[in-house]
Amino acid sequence: MTPLEQAHQILDTLLGYLGFVVRIEDEDGPEGLMLQIHTEQHDALIGRRGEVLDDIQYLTNRILQRRQPGAPRVRVDCEFFRTMREDKMLEKAKELADRVRATGHAAQTPPMNSYYRRLVHNLFVSDPQIQSVSEGGDARFKCITLKRR
């Protein structure tokens, strides 16, 4: 059984035990393995700011790693919540970059987890005018400063 099939089975079982009626689609795309949950109970699965969805993803990956050590991480999304959130976040980062280009003054993003910070850094890695720098510290959520190169 492939890691994606195994993760699908784990997620389906987990959500079934929790009483959710879902349909899960598998995607093996450029961003890696992804499971897309479709349900009418999406608010309960996503949580207030996506924290329930983060927990479901974490549990799915932990169980998958236990069953298949070395299996790749699987992203879990519900009704395209993560995808839309990432698109909005990257759009805001582009707007901040445009403001930095226009004014020359550095701008700072709101605190983000490591996954979202990596997306923002990758957005500006080849930009000749804008540089992205994570502000130090040991905090789980950090801000990124966008400034001219």
If asked whether residues 24 and 60 sit together in one domain, one would say: yes
Strand duo 32-38 + 130-134: pairing: unpaired
If asked whether residues 60 and 95 sit together in one domain, one would say: no
If asked whether residues 37 and 95 sit together in one domain, one would say: no
If asked whether residues 127 and 71 sit together in one domain, one would say: no
Fill in the amino acid letter for 4.
L
pTM of the model: 0.80
pLDDT tens track of the chain, all 149 residues? Answer: 889 999 999 999 999 999 999 999 998 877 789 999 999 999 999 998 889 999 999 999 999 999 999 999 999 999 999 989 999 999 999 999 999 999 999 999 998 888 889 999 999 999 999 999 987 777 788 999 999 98
Three-class SS string for 5-46? HHHHHHHHHHHHHCCCCCEEEEEEECCEEEEEEECCCHHHHH
pLDDT at site 74:
95
If asked whether residues 140 and 119 sit together in one domain, one would say: yes
Domain count, the chain: 2
Of the candidates 79, 110, 130, which is a domain's last residue? 79
- As given in the structure block, the two tokens for residue 75 are 């992203």
Q: How far apart are CA 49 and CA 87, in angstroms?
A: 15
